Chains A and B, each alone.
Chain A
């Protein structure tokens, strides 16, 4: 009830302010940022008793208040708020890296690599095959030559295999799950992120040779890909070392310091053309493991700083989902989503068996790999940039797939954690409280 009152007050405030501001006022970026923090968080809390993760609530808030809904957050406002999304991605990557202990990598590294490789191969092949089979449903591929069909199917599959470190980290932060399923899922998502950068670059080069873009854009240079990966590790290591020094010798005001470092890492990565996620991931890992035992303090401080940023990040991601654009594509998207899930499931089971992991782990960890978000959207945009005319429908299809995976993914991950018994009792019972009679003494 309280959350509904908050939403009603916020709704009234926004209406009032927009009326008083008049039609000629500019974009109230700061006000929208504050509004999204409070409104999306309230929606997140509103859906939690139904057993739905808060981040799905944030996404729903984004759809509700974004351009397809009430349009409080207009398209220009979405552009103005892009730095918030960039900061969120940087924080997510840093926190993910800081979660990794050297000892854990030694212990679980080989098993994670086996699961990643089998899952990647199976999912990629299954999605590419599905696209070839469904080509008659897609106007751009229906009458295209075979080489072009293969090229675009491979490109589509290389983006569709991507997972979401953001959703994984946000859900782990929200539920505070820390068991084997949580750890293996996080490990697979992070390693897959690096693998996908390589795979996408390779596939793009192949696609360009099979179906040259209009205007004959240049091919992917091996040096650029190498720099993107190697440079990320290098820049991330330097940044991480600086943070570790700060932790060892100063270690004060970690809340603001953490935010600053995430911003700095993201901006430096952008300027040096290296992978932001990988850079921050390495920085987080180095800071955690070389910080003289103070990495945990920084992680906790950054989690606190990240909380409102994550809320806005997912709300903005939701605002970019247009349900009206997704609906007509459902006949193609649903098979793709199902095949992707099947690929992830088979890959994880196979990889888990290869690594000798109990089925309890792999049987639940695959549920954490369904989500997709920022990285996949970024890659879909690259495809549309390289192929301006033919890439646009492909991008729309990818966005529709991502929208569905983004919405159902967190719910499935939470289910996996619950089945594995890695949720706290209060988290695990969240869905059971709705409609249940009040306990004695509760008023």
Chain B
């Protein structure tokens, strides 16, 4: 099979998966679909059927880089300052400490595990451990979306636990992307370019600079004309340029595009149109990324390899579960969000795969084991992410819903009483304008049961 045809088939599978399987599974079975494409990729790859040759995977590099960058800009999209400032400080504090705790614990654990498994000094594997730590922080927001959907967005405003989960998802992603980008800058080659080699700080600035320039070019390009065609050209051009530039310089496309996303979402009067375009491409690109990531997976027979993977999955899960509990207790927020909302953060998804794949495709040390850790974690957790969220949030939401129902009933009764007791008070004024709710004097439609 030719490489382009393969690419088209990958895209077609991703496309159909997005719009047929994903929605059906999500609605009917409360399952977050996606991880199975990783398995499909493994089956199509050189390890099993060989349909995807290594050369074909190499030819897909631009798509892979674009997909990785796209995840970065998607992470930034909810970070509109105007909206963020309305959220109280406690959820941020809790989520940030939880993120840093997870990063610290998993980095330490993974560094020890890799050093032990490969019999190397821990200093040599600190960067790889840090990468695993950064990846471990990420948690998928798909669980919340599937479990509560649009209702979740409304409910998040009144249910503290959903708000906490939402904030934690976003902050986990931010910490994960930023730390990952910084570690890549640390690991960057120190070859002198002109006079001297750039420092880590300078590489980080370059990464962020690419994103900021991308965002600026987008705005200049779009100008005052907000037509859909122009939006697609300017957004597509800016994303492709920034992803390509970051990848060319061996920096993190996710961090560069994250910076660009932050610029976009906070500088546009109405970022809804940009978000729509991004959303349309996000899931198909994620599925394509999963398939290609699966196809490029390379196992190792070393027993220590599996030790690192098991260690990562267990340590991450425990940190997310207990870490959130401890942090919540320290912040005194257990009354509103409970102590085990960390269950909602166990699921890992698109960002995890994007970061791990970005690391492994560069041929950096321990890339295969790091990617396998991420892949195993996504395989075991993303599928049930919605159920994890539901399990964590449902006990705290149920009382709220009953309170809401009671409040509604009380309000209905009061309104009815007022309507009957004070009819003249609610009469329309002489000029015809009504200073009362429009439906009060109109006959109410019969409830469905009475028809």
Alpha-carbon gap, A5 to B213, bound state (A)? 12
> Which chain B residues have a beta carbon within 8 Å of chain A's beta carbons?
2, 4-5, 7-8, 11-12, 15, 18-19, 61-62, 65-66, 191, 193-194, 198, 206, 210, 213, 216-217, 220-221, 223, 228-229, 232-234, 236-245, 247-249, 280-281, 284
Contact B213 A13 (CB under 8 A): yes
Q: Is A35 an interface residue (CB 8 A)?
A: yes
- CB-CB < 8 A to A29: which residues of B? 62, 244
Do the beta carbons of B237 and A22 come within 8 Å of each other?
Answer: no
* A-B residue pairs in contact (CB < 8 Å), sample of 24: A6-B217, A13-B217, A17-B249, A20-B198, A26-B248, A28-B247, A30-B65, A30-B66, A30-B240, A34-B237, A34-B244, A37-B241, A42-B221, A253-B15, A253-B280, A256-B11, A256-B15, A260-B12, A264-B5, A264-B8, A264-B12, A267-B8, A270-B2, A303-B229
Give the chain B neighbours of A304 by CB distance below 8 A: 228-229, 232
Partner pick for A9 among B19, B220, B233, B240, CB 8 A cutoff: B220
Report yes or no: B248 in contact with A28, Cβ–Cβ below 8 A.
yes
When each residue 49-78 of chain A gets 1 if its CB lies under 8 Å from chain B and 0 otherwise, what string results? 000000000000000000000000000000
Flag if A311 contacts B233 (CB, 8 Å): yes
Known: A20-B206, A255-B280, A303-B229. 8 other contacts (CB 8 A): A6-B217, A9-B217, A17-B248, A28-B245, A83-B4, A256-B280, A264-B12, A307-B229
Q: How far is the CB of B297 from chain A (nearest CB, A)?
A: 23
Once bound together, how far apart are the Cα atoms of A19 and B237, in whole Å?
21
Q: Considering only CB atoms and an 8 Å cut-off, how many residues of chain A contact the other chain? A: 45
What is the CB-to-nearest-CB distance from B434 to chain A, in angstroms, rounded to a whole number? Answer: 42
- Measured between beta carbons, the chain A residues less than 8 angstroms from B281 are 256
> A131 an interface residue at 8 Å Cβ cutoff?
no
Given A20-B193, A267-B4, A271-B5, the answer on whether A30 and B233 have CB atoms closer than 8 Å is no
A308 and B11 contact, CB distance less than 8 A? no
- Given contacts A9-B216, A307-B233, A271 and B239 within 8 Å (CB-CB): no
* A-B pairs with lowest CB-CB distance, top 4: A31-B244, A34-B241, A34-B240, A30-B244
Interface assignment of A10: CB less than 8 Å from any CB of chain B:
yes
Is A2 positioned at the interface, with any CB of B under 8 Å from its CB?
Answer: yes
- CB pair B4 A263 closer than 8 Å: yes
Measured between beta carbons, the chain B residues less than 8 angstroms from A253 are 15, 18-19, 280
Q: Is the CB of A260 within 8 A of B8?
A: yes
Q: Check if A257 is an interface residue, CB within 8 A of chain B.
A: yes
Complex Cα spacing A19 to B206, Å = 12
Q: Among the interface residues A30, A33, A35, A264, which one has the most CB atoms of the partner chain B within 10 A? A: A30
CB distance from A380 to the nearest CB of B (A): 24
CA distance A22 to B248 in the complex (A): 10
Interface residue A388 (Cβ < 8 Å from any Cβ of B): no
Is A398 positioned at the interface, with any CB of B under 8 Å from its CB? no
For A271, list chain B residues within 8 Å (CB).
2, 5
* Contact in complex: A6, B242 (CB < 8 Å): no
Complex: chain B residue closest to A257, CB-CB? B15
- Tell me the bound Cα distance from A142 to B161 in angstroms: 87
